[in-house]
Amino acid sequence: MQRHTHNGKVIVALSGGVDSAVAALRLCNAGREVEALHMTNWEDDDGYCTAAQDLQDARLVANELGIPLHVANFSAAYRQRVFAGFLADYQAGFTPNPDVLCNREIKFGVFLDHALRLGASRIATGHYARLASTPPTRLLRGRDASKDQSYFLHAVGHHALSQAEFPLGELHKTEVRRLATEAGLPVHRKRDSTGICFVGERPFRDFLGRYLKGAPGAIETPAGVVLGEHEGLMFYTLGQRQGLRLGGQRGYPDAPWYVAAKRSDDNVLVAVQDREHPLLWSDQLVAGDPHWVAQEPSGLASGRTLLCTAKTRYRQPDADCRVSALPDGRLRVDFVSSQWAVTPGQYVVFYSGDECLGGARIQQVHALRETPRAAAASA
């Protein structure tokens, strides 16, 4: 673990999972003054919420490590700062990514503030990411490329990051499991949590339907041929191939159908069969509300182009691109190679080598006019 010369108390966000438990373990082994804070951000007794079990597991870990455990309920802040926007995005036809806001507003927002009130000088989390402490603090990818979480941290400001530590940043997940097992931590076999940030795993369509009313409409081909009916545009995302119920269409081959577009003006879901269909590929996007982790790249505001790599979704390989600032403050991103299923509402996140520069929310996507294969052949 990277050695820190900071004095004073560090409070670990102890979720009840193996990652945060090993983060606390490493800090304790480094001789730091460690306390833990477990936060509850979602209260819904519907059989899917794991808050009670997570709190019990956090207590077991804190007892094993011999560190004090604080408990706080941030449910109201989560609903106001994260979940309300999540619902508004779906209602507007976007596909949001709540994990980004959750990190900015909760883990490095209200959690950080609460930890400082408890006397902490710094906080620590189980994120797979690294920090470069030379002012201003810079965000780096985690060493484990398969677990790197810098994509979800790009909206956190350098001031908050300067008060944070990521004890797992240099580790691979296999090492984390090994350390947890060797230390006898009670969560060493607990599986990783997935699903919506703090809401967890659950039947998504049923869950979303509790808050928003879907408006059924037609599923059509790009030529306007009606194939079936959708349950509401909010329940689908670009590139989706499950849950369309379009099998056995007369006159069409027995091949998967993909969501290629969502037309909110006439409530139509457009579906195609070819994964290489140009509607599923784009070489340009426009993104709004850009946020730069440390500082805006030099020259971007003066009209020059930023050459970097970008991801338009988590776990996606880096793609070479050119970023330009538009007069209205938004960003135009041109990709060297076309990208598949770029989705409005998600984030485009920029990198220079291992450094995460920042990101912006995707608003508009420019679809190709011909398949990537045909475009490459004519180039």
Per-residue pLDDT band at 250 (split at 50, 70, 90): confident
Closest CA to 141 of 168, 120, 159: 168
State mean pLDDT over 51-68: 94
Q: What's 226's domain CATH number? A: 2.30.30.280
Q: Is 195 a domain residue?
A: no
Among 140, 166, 182, give the residue marking a domain's end: 182
Q: Which positions ≥6 away from 302 have C-beta within 8 Å?
A: none
Same-domain check for residues 247 and 296: no
Calculate the CA 243 to chain-centre distance. Answer: 23
- Rounded to whole angstroms, the Cα distance separating 217 from 237 reads 15
The predicted structure's pLDDT at residue 373: 56
Higher pLDDT, 93 or 160: 160
Q: Which residues contact 114 (CB under 8 A, 6 or more apart)?
A: 37, 72, 74
Catalytic sites, residue numbers: 102, 197
Identify which has the larger pLDDT, 291 or 299.
Answer: 291
Per the structure, the complete domain to which residue 20 belongs is given by: 9-182
- pLDDT mean over 117-128: 98
CA atoms within 13 A on the CB side of 253: 5
CATH number, domain of 289, equals 2.40.30.10
What's the pLDDT at 378? 45
**What is the arithmetic mean of pLDDT over 89-115?**
94
Distance CA 19, CA 194 (A): 13
Distance (Å, whole) CA 351 – CA 340: 19
pLDDT value at position 49? 59
Has residue 303 been placed in a domain? yes
> Which two tokens mark 373?
């294969």
- Mean pLDDT for 332-350 is 97
User: 258 and 171, same structural domain?
Assistant: no
Residue ending a domain, choose from 225, 244, 272? 272
Asked if 123 and 161 count as a contact pair (C-beta separation under 8 A), the reply is no
pLDDT tens, residue by residue, 163-206: 999 999 999 999 999 999 999 999 998 888 755 555 555 577 88
**Same domain (yes/no): 244, 308:** no
In a domain, 342, yes or no: yes
Domain boundary among 182, 205, 233: 182
pLDDT value at residue 302: 75
Q: Are residues 343 and 294 in the same domain?
A: yes
What is the mean predicted confidence (pLDDT) over 290-311? 91
Over residues 306-333, the mean pLDDT reads 96
Cβ-contact 108, 102 below 8 angstroms: no
Instruction: Supply the pLDDT for residue 48.
Output: 53
3-class DSSP state for residue 165? strand
Lowest-confidence range among 148-162, 219-233, 290-304, 307-321?
290-304
What residues have CB less than 8 Å from 242, skipping those under 6 apart?
none
**Residue 53: its pLDDT value, please?**
86
Q: Is residue 190 part of a domain?
A: no
Q: What are 4-17's pLDDT values in tens digits?
A: 556 699 999 999 99
Tokens 């909110």 found at: 264
Residues 153 and 284 in one domain: no
Strands 226-230, 258-263: pairing kind? unpaired
Does 358 lie in the same domain as 231? no
User: Mean per-residue pLDDT for 141-154?
Assistant: 97
Residues 242, 127, single domain; the answer is no
Q: Is 341 exposed, middle or buried (0-12, 13-18, 19+ CB in 10 A)?
A: buried
What's the pTM value of the predicted model, to 2 decimals? 0.91
- Mean pLDDT calculated for residue range 323-351: 96
Q: Quick one: tokens of 125? A: 């989390």
Q: Closest Cα partner for 37 from 59, 22, 18, 64?
A: 59
Q: Does the residue 1 lie in any domain?
A: no
Q: What is the mean pLDDT of residues 20-29?
A: 98
Q: Would you state the pLDDT for residue 207? A: 83
Scan for tokens 């991801």, then name that residue.
311
Same domain, 225 and 363: no
Residues 286, 257 share a domain: no
CB 268 within 8 A of CB 220: yes
DSSP 22-49: HHHHHHHHTT-EEEEEEEE----TTTT-
- Contact status, residue 69 vs residue 168, Cβ threshold 8 Å: no
Q: Taking 70 as the threshold, does the pLDDT of residue 374 lie above it?
A: no
DSSP count for the chain of H helices, then E strands: 11, 17
For the chain, give the percent of residues with pLDDT over 70: 91
Position 52 scores a pLDDT of 81
What distance in Å separates the CA atoms of residue 361 and residue 300, rounded to the nearest whole number? 17
| C-alpha closest to that of 42 among 85, 87, 83, 91 | 83
Mean pLDDT to the nearest integer, 60-82: 96
Inside any domain, residue 374: yes
Q: What is the mean pLDDT of the chain?
A: 91
Tell me the percentage of the chain whose pLDDT exceeds 90.
76
Burial of 117 (0-12, 13-18, 19+ CB in 10 A): exposed
Answer with the residue of higher pLDDT: 250 or 182: 182
Q: Which of 121, 127, 101, 123 is nearest to 111 (CA)?
A: 123
Give a yes or no: residue 238 inside a domain.
yes
Asked if 96 and 83 touch (Cβ cutoff 8 Å), the reply is: no
The β-bridge partners of 358 are 292, 350
User: Are 107 and 227 members of one domain?
Assistant: no
Average pLDDT over residues 112-117: 98
Is residue 17 included in any domain, yes or no? yes
- pLDDT recorded at residue 379: 44
What's the CATH code of the domain at 143?
3.40.50.620
